[in-house]
C-alpha cells in the first residue's frame, strides 16, 4: 500500500497540474484535489477484486463533484443531465480557445476534473497491479494531452513527464530497471516532442487539438455570415442544435441582426455603434420604437442557452430592449437593437434577454396611415438614391425618371421589380395592403419556388433576376426582394436574419442550424418593426397580420384594399387568390375533422386494446415467475417434476386434457397423437430422473430440461403464432 502511494503521488500531481494549466480562471474550490484523492483511494485496497469494486462508487462521486452543477443547468435528474453536460464540455474543447475561463465554461471545467480523475485512477490501478509499462503509457497520455492542447513551456513539462515516468519505472522495477528505463525514456521523449509548439506547427504525430469527435472535418459549432448571399446554400446532413430558448409560448423568430443597407445588388449589415459596457440593463433607447416599449409589462422574457452557435450576436425575439447577462462580459450596443458580444458567444453560456414584440391584428394595421419620422429616412434608400415615402404626391413619376437617367444606371435592371411592386400596390388603400399583397404574391400566388440552389443570374443583379426571371430561390432572395419592393413603394423595410421558431419541446424551443432564416421587418406607426415572411415552406409567424401565419385573418386584411375592380385591382387580386387558397385549406381541415369524428369509434378501441395487452403481459409474467420458482431447487427429483409440470401446463393451455397422474409414457403418447411431435427423448430422460438410481438422477434431470426445451421448440413451430398466443394468455394452467 505504501509503495503504491509513493509511486503514484508524483505522476498524479503532474497530470493534475498539466490539466489545470488549461484554465485561466478556475471555478472556486479545490474539486480537482478531491477527485485525485478519489482516484487514488481504490488502489490502496489489497486485492484486485476489491480495487475494482471500489472504482464504481469512486467514479459516481467524481461525476457528482465534476458535473452536478444545478446553478448552471436546471435539467431534472442526475445521469442524463450529467451526460449532456459532459457532452457539451467535451465538444467545447474543440470550439473554445485555451486557457479558458472556468466560471464562464463550467462544463469544460467539469470535463477537465473528470480527465484528472480518469487518468489518475488508471495510473493508480496499474501501479497497484505492478504493471510499469501500462502505467507509463497512462502517464504519457494523461500528461501529454493537456501539454499539447496548451503548448507553452512544453520542453519544461516534457522533462517533468520524463522524470515522472522514470520515477514510476524505478519504483516498480527495482530488480532490473535498465531495460524499462530505456523504453520509458524513448516513449517519454516522443511524447515531449509531440507536445512542443514546433511539433504542432509541423502537424506532429500527437496533434490532439485537431481531433474531431464528430468524425467529420467541420467545426463542432455552427457559424454564419449574415450579410445576404444569393449563390446557394447547403445545410449539413445531420441537424445540429444551436440554441435552446425558454420563455415565450408562441412561435417567434429569433433575430441575430438586420440588414438595412441595400448596396445596388445585395443587402448588408450596417448598424451604428452606440455604446459599450457589461451586458446588463436596458439597451439604448430606440427612437423608432413606440412609448409602450418602455413599459416592462409589454416585454417578452427569453432565457437562451448557447448549445452550438459560434457567433458574436445576441439572439433575441423581435426588438430587444433589455439584457441580463453579465457573465457574457463586455458587449457592443448598436442601433436597431443589435448587440454584439466582444468575445463572442460560446458553448454552454446562458443569458436572459427581454424583447418588445407587439401583436396587432390585421384590422388595426389596415387603418394606419403612412406617417414616418425623419429617423426612418435611411430605410428608404434603394442603392444610390432615396425615394419619397408611401403616399407622397407624384412619387411614381419621380422613380420612373430614374430608369432613364444614366446617373442611376445601377437601378435600371430593377425596372421589372418596380413595375411588379406598382401593380401589387394598385389596389391597396393603405400601406398595410401593399405589404400583405407583396408578401402573399411572393409566398403563395406569384408562382415562386423555394430552391436552395437557384439557377445562375446571367450577369443580372440576383434580386432583379429572381423577380423578373427565374422565380426560384431561398429565403435570402424572397426577403431581399420583398424589402426592396417595399422601399420602391416608399415603405420603410429591412431584412432580418436569424432563426425561425424551431421546435417546442418540454416548454422550451429547440433551434437547429436548419432553422437559419431571413425575413422582412416593416415599420408601422405606433408599433415599430413588424415581421413578415415571404418565403414559402420555411417558417410560420405566430401573428394573424402576416400571410405566413396559419391564423392569418385575410378577411380583416381585405379592409386595407380599395373597392375598385377589374384589371387594376393589383394586390387585391392576390389577396382574393389567397382567400381562395385559405378556403380550400379550411374545407380540407373540416373534411379531415369529420373523418376523424367518424373514426372516433375506432379510436375509442385503443384504450381497450391497451388494457388487453397489459393483462396478457401480466398473465404471461405470472406463468414465467411460477415456472421459475419451481426450478429453484437442487433436488434432481424435484427438477424433473418441475420439467414435467412445465410440459403439462403447456398442454393444458393448448386445450388438451391431461391426467394429474399421467406417466412419462402417457405424456409421450398424448403429444404424438394431439400435436404430432416425438416426445420419446423427453419421456425417457424424465423416467430415468424420477425412477432411476439416485447417482444418475442429476444428469438425467439436466437431460430432461434440455429435451423439454427441444420438444417445446418443435411443438411451438408446428402450432403457429395464433395458437401460441392463445396458450400464453389462457388461465387454465394457473388454476390447475
Kindly list the averaged pLDDT for each block of 10 residues, start to end, along the chain of length 736: 87 92 74 89 89 90 76 50 73 71 79 92 92 90 84 76 87 60 54 43 35 42 80 85 91 94 91 92 93 93 93 94 92 94 88 95 92 94 89 89 89 94 90 94 92 92 94 96 96 96 91 94 96 90 87 81 54 61 58 60 61 76 82 85 89 83 86 84 88 83 88 82 77 72
Task: State the Cα torsion 728-731-734-736 to the nearest 10°.
Answer: -120
Q: How far apart are CA 719 and CA 655, in angstroms?
A: 12
| pTM as predicted | 0.58
Contact 375/287 with Cβ under 8 angstroms?
Answer: yes
- Helix, strand or coil for residue 530? strand
The per-residue pLDDT for 475 is: 95
The per-residue pLDDT for 585 is: 52
Closest CA to 340 of 319, 322, 313: 313
Cα–chain center distance at 272: 34
Closest CA to 39 of 98, 122, 102: 122
- Helix, strand or coil for residue 577? helix
Q: What angle do CA 310, 312, 317 make, to 5 degrees?
A: 95
* Most distant pair of Cα atoms in the chain: their distance: 118
Q: Is 463 exposed, middle or buried (0-12, 13-18, 19+ CB in 10 A)?
A: buried
Domain boundaries, the chain: 2-210, 617-735
The backbone torsions φ and ψ at residue 83, rounded to the nearest 5 degrees and listed phi first, read -60, -45
Residues 6+ apart with CB under 8 A from 115: 19, 142, 145, 146
Contact 321/356 with Cβ under 8 angstroms?
Answer: yes
Beta strands 254-259 and 316-317 are: antiparallel
In sequence order, which ranges of 173-303 are alpha helices (DSSP H)? 177-194, 197-201
The per-residue pLDDT for 207 is: 37
Residues 6+ apart with CB under 8 A from 730: 619, 653
Q: How far apart are CA 409 and CA 430, in angstroms?
A: 31
Closest CA to 286 of 337, 353, 355, 340: 337
Cis before 500? omega within 30: no
Task: State the Cα torsion 221-225-231-235 to the nearest 10°.
Answer: 20
Closest CA to 489 of 631, 392, 348: 392
The per-residue pLDDT for 214 is: 42
The per-residue pLDDT for 267 is: 95
The per-residue pLDDT for 197 is: 39
Contact 168/13 with Cβ under 8 angstroms?
Answer: no
The per-residue pLDDT for 348 is: 83
Amino acid at each position: 500500500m505504501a509503495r503504491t502511494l509513493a509511486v503514484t503521488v508524483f505522476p498524479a500531481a503532474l497530470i493534475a497540474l498539466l490539466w489545470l494549466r488549461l484554465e485561466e480562471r478556475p471555478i472556486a474550490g479545490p474539486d480537482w484535489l478531491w477527485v485525485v484523492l478519489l482516484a487514488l483511494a481504490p488502489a490502496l485496497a489489497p486485492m484486485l477484486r476489491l480495487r475494482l469494486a471500489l472504482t464504481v462508487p469512486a467514479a459516481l462521486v467524481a461525476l457528482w463533484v465534476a458535473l452536478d452543477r444545478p446553478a448552471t443547468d436546471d435539467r431534472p435528474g442526475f445521469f442524463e443531465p450529467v451526460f449532456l453536460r459532459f457532452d457539451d464540455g467535451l465538444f467545447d474543447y474543440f470550439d473554445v480557445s485555451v486557457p479558458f475561463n472556468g466560471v464562464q465554461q463550467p462544463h469544460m471545467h467539469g470535463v477537465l476534473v473528470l480527465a484528472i480523475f480518469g487518468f489518475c485512477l488508471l495510473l493508480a490501478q496499474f501501479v497497484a497491479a505492478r504493471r510499469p509499462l501500462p502505467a507509463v503509457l497512462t502517464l504519457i497520455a494523461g500528461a501529454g494531452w493537456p501539454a499539447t492542447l496548451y503548448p507553452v513551456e512544453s520542453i519544461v513539462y516534457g522533462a517533468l513527464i520524463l522524470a515522472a515516468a522514470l520515477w514510476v519505472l524505478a519504483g516498480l522495477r527495482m530488480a532490473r530497471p535498465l531495460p524499462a528505463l530505456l523504453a520509458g525514456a524513448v516513449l517519454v521523449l516522443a511524447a515531449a516532442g509531440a507536445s512542443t509548439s514546433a511539433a504542432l506547427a509541423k502537424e506532429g504525430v500527437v496533434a490532439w487539438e485537431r481531433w474531431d469527435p464528430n468524425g467529420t472535418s467541420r467545426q463542432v459549432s455552427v457559424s454564419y455570415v449574415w450579410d445576404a448571399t444569393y449563390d446557394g446554400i447547403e445545410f449539413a446532413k445531420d441537424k445540429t442544435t444551436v440554441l435552446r430558448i425558454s420563455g415565450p409560448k408562441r412561435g417567434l423568430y429569433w433575430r441575430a441582426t438586420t440588414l438595412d443597407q441595400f448596396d445596388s445588388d445585395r443587402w448588408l449589415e450596417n448598424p451604428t455603434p452606440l455604446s459599450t459596457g457589461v451586458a446588463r440593463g436596458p439597451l439604448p433607447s430606440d427612437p423608432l420604437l413606440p412609448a409602450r416599449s418602455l413599459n416592462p409589462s409589454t416585454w417578452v422574457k427569453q432565457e437562451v442557452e448557447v448549445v452550438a452557435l459560434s457567433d458574436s450576436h445576441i439572439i433575441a425575439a423581435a426588438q430587444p430592449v433589455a439584457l441580463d447577462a453579465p457573465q457574457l462580459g463586455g458587449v457592443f450596443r448598436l442601433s436597431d437593437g443589435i448587440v454584439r458580444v466582444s468575445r463572442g458567444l460560446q458553448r454552454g453560456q446562458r443569458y436572459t434577454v427581454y424583447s418588445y414584440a407587439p401583436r396587432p391584428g390585421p384590422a388595426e394595421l389596415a387603418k394606419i396611415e403612412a406617417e414616418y419620422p425623419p429617423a426612418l429616412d435611411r430605410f428608404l434608400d434603394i442603392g444610390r438614391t432615396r425615394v419619397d415615402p408611401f403616399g407622397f404626391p407624384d412619387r411614381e413619376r419621380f422613380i420612373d425618371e430614374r430608369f432613364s437617367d444614366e446617373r442611376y444606371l445601377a437601378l435600371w435592371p430593377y425596372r421589372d421589380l418596380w413595375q411588379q411592386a406598382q401593380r401589387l400596390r394598385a389596389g391597396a388603400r393603405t400601406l398595410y395592403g401593399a405589404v400583405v399583397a407583396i408578401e402573399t404574391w411572393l409566398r403563395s400566388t406569384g408562382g415562386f419556388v423555394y430552391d436552395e440552389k437557384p439557377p445562375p443570374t446571367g450577369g443580372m443583379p440576383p434580386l432583379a433576376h429572381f423577380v423578373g426571371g427565374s422565380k426560384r430561390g431561398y429565403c435570402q432572395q424572397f426577403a431581399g426582394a420583398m424589402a426592396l419592393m417595399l422601399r420602391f413603394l416608399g415603405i420603410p423595410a429591412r431584412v432580418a436574419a436569424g432563426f425561425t421558431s424551431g421546435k417546442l419541446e418540454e416548454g422550451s424551443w429547440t433551434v437547429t442550424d436548419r432553422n437559419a432564416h431571413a425575413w422582412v421587418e416593416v415599420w408601422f406607426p405606433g408599433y415599430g418593426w413588424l415581421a413578415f415572411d415571404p418565403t414559402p415552406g420555411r417558417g410560420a409567424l405566430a401573428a394573424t397580420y402576416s400571410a405566413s401565419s396559419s391564423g392569418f385573418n385575410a378577411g380583416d386584411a381585405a379592409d386595407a384594399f380599395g373597392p375598385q375592380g377589374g384589371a387594376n385591382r393589383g394586390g387585391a387580386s392576390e389577396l382574393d387568390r389567397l382567400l381562395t387558397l385559405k378556403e380550400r385549406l379550411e374545407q380540407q381541415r373540416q373534411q379531415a375533422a369529420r373523418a376523424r369524428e367518424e373514426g372516433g369509434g375506432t379510436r375509442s378501441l385503443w384504450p381497450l386494446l391497451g388494457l388487453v395487452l397489459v393483462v396478457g403481459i401480466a398473465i404471461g409474467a405470472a406463468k414465467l415467475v411460477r415456472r421459475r420458482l419451481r426450478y429453484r431447487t437442487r433436488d434432481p427429483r424435484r427438477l424433473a417434476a418441475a420439467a414435467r409440470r412445465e410440459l403439462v401446463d403447456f398442454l393444458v393451455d393448448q386445450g388438451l386434457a391431461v391426467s394429474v397422474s399421467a406417466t412419462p409414457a402417457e405424456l409421450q403418447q398424448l403429444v404424438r397423437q394431439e400435436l404430432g411431435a416425438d416426445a420419446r427423448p423427453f419421456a425417457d430422460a424424465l423416467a430415468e430422473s424420477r425412477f432411476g438410481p439416485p447417482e444418475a438422477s442429476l444428469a438425467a434431470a439436466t437431460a430432461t430440461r434440455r429435451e423439454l426445451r427441444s420438444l417445446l421448440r418443435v411443438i411451438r413451430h408446428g402450432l403457429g403464432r395464433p395458437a401460441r398466443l392463445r396458450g400464453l394468455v389462457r388461465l387454465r394452467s394457473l388454476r390447475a
